[in-house]
Amino acid sequence: MPEFSPWHDNSLTYGSQNNAPAPPKRISEDPEFHSLRRAQRRFGVRATLLSVGGFLLYVLLSHSVPGLMNQRLAGEFTLGLALGLGQFVVMGVTAWCYVRHMRTRVDPLARGLGSRMHQQEAGSRAAAPHDGSRGYPTW
């Protein structure tokens, strides 16, 4: 994919929803778009609850049931220390699952919708001169 020039972004207009072109509205009603949103959001929320909520639960448990957390597993290793190390493992697994989920479930949908959006836009742009703009001679 070719790189864009650094000043490319500056041409984007912000806060001008009023005159934004219509096509995206159609994309947003697409069932495929809905499943894209669901796929991304459901996984994100669940994984966040698992890793962040799990950690906060671990902190709470550490201070509310110290007896359980202080159980020796091997040598000086207590259950609490082991769970603490386990947090790192959970994070690693979650990150790996996230990357895999995005690559297999979300990215293809987003790419498909993106290219369709481009086509629509190109179509509407091609159709626009006929609607009465006089700046461009049609040929």
Partner 1 sequence: MVTMSAGIVDRFSLQLTFVLFLSVVVVTLFMALLTAPQRDEISEFYLGNRTMSPLRNGLAMCGDYLSAATLLGSTGLVALNGYDGLLYLGGTVVAWMMVLLLIAEPLRRAGRFTLGDTLALRLTRLQRPARLALAVCTLVITTLYLVAQLVGSIALLTQFTGEPGAATRTLCVIVIGTVVIVYAAIGGAPGATVIQIIKAVMLIAGVTVTAVMVLNHYDWNPNALLSAAANHSGTGTQFLEPGLRYGVSTTSKIDFFSLELAIVLGLAALPHVLMRLLAPRKVDVLRSSVVWAVGLVGLVCLAAGVLGLGATAVVGRDTIANTDHKGDSAVLLLANALGGGILTALLSCLAFVTLLAVAAGLTLAAATSLAHDLYGEVIRKGRASETEELMVARLSAVVIGVLAMMLALVSWGANTATLAFLAFAIAASAILPTIVYTLFWRRFTGQGALLSLWGGLACSVLLVLFSPVVSSTPGSFYPESDFAWFPLQNPGIVSIPAGFLLGWLGTVLSERRHPQEDAAYADFEVRMLVGAKE
The 10 Å Cβ neighbour count of residue 39 is 17
Diameter of the chain measured on Cα atoms: 84
**Rounded Cα–Cα distance for residues 35 and 24 (Å):** 16
Hey, what are 49's tokens?
């609850």
**What is the size of the binding site for partner 1 (CB under 8 A)?**
63
Q: Pick from 107, 119, 123, 128: which binds partner 1 (CB under 8 A)? A: 107
Nearer to partner 1, 10 or 133 (CB): 10
**Rounded Cα–Cα distance for residues 20 and 88 (Å):** 45
* Closest to 113 (Cα-Cα) out of 7, 28, 15: 28
CA distances from 114 to 4, 5, 136 (A): 18, 21, 27
Nearer to partner 1, 52 or 128 (CB): 52
Nearer to partner 1, 126 or 134 (CB): 126
CB of 20 to partner 1, least distance (A): 6
Phi, psi for residue 15 in degrees, rounded to 5: 65, 25
Give yes or no for residue 105 binding partner 1 (CB under 8 A): no
List residues binding partner 1 (CB under 8 A).
3-4, 6-7, 9-10, 12, 14-15, 17-18, 20, 24-25, 27-28, 33, 36-37, 40-41, 43-45, 47-48, 51-52, 55-56, 58-60, 62-64, 66, 69-70, 74-78, 80-81, 84, 87-88, 91-92, 94-95, 98-99, 102, 107, 110, 113-114, 117-118, 121
